[in-house]
Chains A and B, each alone.
Chain A
Amino acid sequence: MPTQTVTVGSAVGLHARPAAIISEKVEELGAEITLAVPGGEPVDAASSLLIMTLGAANGDKVEVAGADQAAVDAVAALVAQDLDA
């Protein structure tokens, strides 16, 4: 399964707004995508609430996984971006 590990780009980590933006993107893509901190349980990236449970701070690694390579790439790019900017 395509997986990509990226560094969180948002200045204050994956808090409410970045999480909301990512989950909206995932819904828009209609793909099943999971996010995980290394060694942690993957969570459904379509839920902003579950993304927030990761507690991923700026500079933390996050693993993006899903069946669709293009969707994984798109979501990984969002995670890496500074969504607060």
Chain B
Amino acid sequence: MKNLQVDALVVGGGIAGMQSALDLADQGFHVALVEKEASIGGKMISLSKVFPTLDCCSCITTPKMSAVAHHENITLLTYCEVVALEQNGASYRAQINKKPRYVNEESCTGCRLCEYACPLDLPSAFDMGLGAQRVIRVPFSTAVPQKAVLDIDNCILCGKCENVCPVADCIDFTQTAVTFEIHADAIVLATGFELTPTDAKAEYGGGKLRNVVDALTVERFLAPTGPYGHVLRPSDGKEPESIAYVQCAGSRDISLGVAYCSRICCMYAIKQAMLLSGALPLADITIYYMDIRTFGKGYEQFYQNARAMGIEFVRGKVARIHEDAAQNPVVRVEQIDDGSVVEREHDMVVLSVGMLPSYNPGLIYNVPVAADDGFVAQSAANISPCLTYQPGIFVAGTAAGPMDIVDSIVMAGAAAAETAAYLEERRAVGMAGNGRSPQTTSVKEVSYA
């Protein structure tokens, strides 16, 4: 694959990365967007609805995904990972590893005939292991690009997909990883977050209790594109009559190594509780919480609405979860309001897991992480939150710390503006620009920040 020369490289194709790429591209800058998964969309595309407006999440995300894919100034590189990012004179050189799809990305039409022909079902990664997916498949229905990807580790090489594929030489079992370089004058890091794994806390069953799920799983239950089109608990497919939310199941807990608040969990738990009340009108929903943090516009009202709807809020951090004989999770908690310790049985327990950084500082040139939380360190967090400690490298969205979708989008726009200003300033002093080769001037000579 050919090396690329662009103005800006955006690392990460979630909502923040897409927004930054679009905002830069709309201003005429050439942008490369690198996404490690086979489709862009990030975590947001798998969500059901957004708080506090309860807008359909796909309906907001897919237009942006399409816009990215079709924008003439954006080169979209999916299934690619940045394996090293180094300074190259005044600009940056990123080494990109393109993982093999075993499908020719140029010729694949996304017809999905291969997927229908594939005889093997695996737990669906996109549906949090609830539904099934084929070994060769388009990642999910609204994936961008609509290109098939083959999971070679689970493939039995039966060749059925190859037989039905209408395009010659499209499926290629011999494909290998390709390495190439991207030369960019500026970088936007939008590497997002990971969720606290459900097995992180032994007291919450260590991931072994089947009816203890994380909140992203519930998003899939609730999403119109979800696996069952219905809320069914994992162990026996029963419709849960009693659902509990355990707040701070991955945040504000030093025993998990996470001292910070993940900010989104209160609101998504309230949102899910409301949606579940709609999906299961007879179900009792309880939220065990320490304090409810409704920090954004309209959030407090949203919370009050949930209370008024009859969702039960119990103050107290769940200490332990165990299972009874019927695999019903039983939570043990001190109810702070009256100081009593109770054990309450529910049909399903949802862990309101938190945000962990997914950025790997070892790969990126001179961009450290904050010592206390592991998110990308901001050099001027309160006045220019998109700046890192390396001029020319900017940060957007949850790569910088826990934040919700609205804040991620705002920050992505800000990062695009900072990047644009940086690129314009470089052009003004005659340094490398769009399509021109970078000069060997040190970045420090650029009057910046």
A and B from one assembly? no
